[in-house]
Structure 1
Amino acid sequence: MSFQDDDDDDENNAETSSHTLTRTNNYEGEDTSPTTTRELRGWYAYPIAAEVFAVVAVGAFFPVILEQLARENGVFFSDRSKACVQTSSASARFRTRGDGQKDGGAQQCMVTFLGREMSTSSFAMYTFSTAVLVQAVVLVCFSSFADHGPYRKNMLMVFAYTGSIASCLFIFISPAVFYLAPILVILGITSLGCSFVLLNAFLPLLVANHPDNSSNSSLSADSSSEVELEALNPEASAHPIHRSDPDKLSRDLERSAQMSSQGVGKGYIAAVLVQALSICVLWAFSKTSIQKRNPSFPIRVILFIVGAWWAMFTIPTLLWLQTRPGPPLPTQTQRRTLSGPQKLSMFSTFLFYTSFSLRSFWRTLKRATSLRQTLLFLISWFLLSDAIATISGTAVLFARTELHMSTIAIALLSITSIGSGIVGAFAWPRVQRHFNLQPKTVLLLCVAGMEIIPLYGLLGYIPLFRALGFIGLQKAWEIYPIAVIHGIVMGGISSYARSVYATLIPEGSEAAFFALYAVTDKGSSVFGPALVGQIVDQAGTIRPVFIFLAVLVVLPAPLLWRLDVEKGREDARAMAEGDARGRGAYARVH
Structure 2
Amino acid sequence: MPLDLAAVRPRRYASEDTSSTSPRELRGWYAYGIAAEVFAVVGTGLFLPVTLEQLARERGVLFSDHSHACVDAVSARADDSAARQCVVRFLGARITTASFAMYTQSAAVLVQALTLVCCSSFADHGPWRKKMLMGFGYLGAVMSTLFVFVGPGMWFLAPGLVVVGVTCLGCSFTLLNAFLPLLVANCEGGKERGEEFELEVLDEGDGDGDGDGDGDGDGKGEDPERLARDLKRSAKISSRGVGLGYMAAVFVQVLSVIFLFLMSKTSIPKSSPTLPMRMILFFVGVWWATFSIPTLLWLRPRPGPPLPSQSKRSHPQTTLSTLLFYARFSFASFWRTLKRALRLRQVVVFLISWFLLSDAVATISGTAVLFARTELKMGTIAVAFLSITSISFGMIGAFAWPRVAAHFGAQPKTVLLFCVALMEVIPLYGLLGYIPFIRSWGVGGLQKPFEIYPLGVLHGCAMGGISSYARSVYAPLIPEGSEAAFFALYAVTDKGSSAFGPALVGTIVDRAGSIRPAFIFLAVLVLCPVPLLWVLNMEKGREDAAGMATEERMMDRGDGYGRVDQEDRAD
The question of a shared fold, defined as TM-score above 0.5 by the shorter chain, is answered with yes
1:497 & 1:268 partners in 2: Cα distance?
A: 16
2:337 corresponds to which residue? Answer: 364
1:475 & 1:62 partners in 2: Cα distance?
A: 24
2:165 & 2:557 partners in 1: Cα distance?
A: 46
2:109 corresponds to which residue? Answer: 132
Q: How far off its partner does 1:499 sit?
A: 5.0
Question: Is contact 2:108-2:166 (8 Å) kept?
Answer: yes
1:436 & 1:549 partners in 2: Cα distance?
A: 31
Q: How far off its partner does 1:576 sit?
A: 4.6
1:381 aligns with 2:354: yes
Question: Is contact 1:162-1:191 (8 Å) kept?
Answer: yes
Question: Is contact 1:69-1:296 (8 Å) kept?
Answer: yes
2:336 & 2:511 partners in 1: Cα distance?
A: 41
1:111 is paired with a residue whose SS is strand
> Which residue identity does 1:376 align to in structure 2?
V
1:303 aligns with 2:281: yes
1:60 aligns with 2:46: yes
1:544 aligns with 2:521: no
1:197 aligns with 2:174: yes
Change (3 A) 1:569 1:299: same
Question: Is contact 1:242-1:507 (8 Å) kept?
Answer: no
Which 5+ residue runs of structure 1 have no aligned equivalent?
1-14, 87-93, 216-223, 226-240
1:323 & 1:283 partners in 2: Cα distance?
A: 43
1:313 aligns with 2:291: yes
1:347 to 297, 320, 343: 320
1:113 aligns with 2:122: no
1:245 & 1:371 partners in 2: Cα distance?
A: 16
1:220 corresponds to which residue? Answer: none
1:401 corresponds to which residue? Answer: 374
1:449 aligns with 2:419: no
1:279 aligns with 2:247: no
Aligned residues: 534
Change (3 A) 1:579 1:444: closer
Question: Is contact 1:105-1:402 (8 Å) kept?
Answer: no
Q: How far off its partner does 1:379 sit?
A: 1.6
Sequence identity (%)? 63
2:94 is paired with a residue whose SS is strand
1:185 corresponds to which residue? Answer: 162
What per-residue deviation string (whole Å, max 9, x for no partner) do you get for residues 286-338 of structure 1?
Answer: 101110111111101111111111122223333444444432210136653xx
State which drifts further: 29-38 or 114-123. Answer: 29-38
TM-score by structure 2 length? 0.83
Q: How far off its partner does 1:47 sit?
A: 1.9
RMSD: 3.5
2:434 corresponds to which residue? Answer: 461
2:297 & 2:473 partners in 1: Cα distance?
A: 37
> Which residue identity does 1:63 align to in structure 2?
P
Which 5+ residue runs of structure 2 have no aligned equivalent?
193-200, 203-217, 559-563, 565-571
Q: How far off its partner does 1:515 sit?
A: 3.9
Change (3 A) 1:575 1:287: closer
1:573 to 521, 524, 543: 543
State which drifts further: 452-461 or 125-134. Answer: 452-461
2:74 corresponds to which residue? Answer: 95
Query: Which aligned pairs between 1:426-505 and structure 2 lie closer than 5 A?
Result: 426-429=399-402, 432=405, 439-501=412-474
State which drifts further: 324-333 or 528-537. Answer: 324-333
State which drifts further: 514-523 or 525-534. Answer: 514-523
1:529 corresponds to which residue? Answer: 502
2:548 & 2:127 partners in 1: Cα distance?
A: 33
Change (3 A) 1:586 1:424: closer
Question: Is contact 2:85-2:97 (8 Å) kept?
Answer: yes
Question: Is contact 1:76-1:104 (8 Å) kept?
Answer: no
2:146 to 163, 169, 192: 169
Question: Is contact 2:398-2:465 (8 Å) kept?
Answer: yes
State which drifts further: 140-149 or 497-506. Answer: 497-506
> Which residue identity does 1:355 align to in structure 2?
R
2:341 & 2:74 partners in 1: Cα distance?
A: 55
> Which residue identity does 2:519 align to in structure 1?
F
1:268 aligns with 2:246: yes
2:70 corresponds to which residue? Answer: 84
1:152 corresponds to which residue? Answer: 129
